[in-house]
Amino acid sequence: MNLLALFGYGGNPHALTDLEALTASGAALIDIRYSPKTGIPGLGREALLRRFGTSYTHLPDLGNRNYRGGPIELVDAERGLEALGAWLMIRPCVLLCGCGHKRAGECHRTEVGRLAQERWPGLEVRELGPGGRQAGWCPTGAEAEVRE
């Protein structure tokens, strides 16, 4: 099974460049925001769809109903994981949310990663920092610049 990476664009001014590198390496972007909107240009659902085409999908079943606060409550984890599993069979996947790298522990993408790991014990799950380097995985295989 392919790699599952977790990526949050918050606080990363080069997020789109990072996403370009990830898709260029063959990864699919799985948007798991409950509300796939943002004031940041280029990162709303429609813009991502235009830019990345079939490399992008929004998976609202893995969204967090309580994204404004409160305990994490996934819309439909079972159905969402099933859809994610189908993607993972064919491509490495990046779970996309807005919470920045430093807040990854509080973000529902970490919970989804944990559930996926539980379901597929052989699956490799990694949180990616800006540039994809902090986790030791450079998606392009090139020497990407390390950014903080």
The residue ranges that bind Zn ion (CB under 5 A) are 97, 99, 107
**What minimum distance in Å lies between the beta carbon of 41 and Zn ion?**
19
103/119 with CB nearer Zn ion: 103
Sign of CA dihedral 128, 133, 139, 145: positive
16/97 with CB nearer Zn ion: 97
**What minimum distance in Å lies between the beta carbon of 143 and Zn ion?**
29
39/141 with CB nearer Zn ion: 39
Of 56, 143, 40, which is closest to residue 95 (Cα–Cα)? 56
Say how far apart CA 6 and CA 32 lie, in whole Å.
10
Sign of CA dihedral 67, 94, 126, 119: positive
46/106 with CB nearer Zn ion: 106
- Give the position of tokens 């080069």: 14
Structure tokens belonging to residue 39: 């004031």
**What minimum distance in Å lies between the beta carbon of 64 and Zn ion?**
7
Say how far apart CA 21 and CA 18 lie, in whole Å.
5
**What minimum distance in Å lies between the beta carbon of 107 and Zn ion?**
3
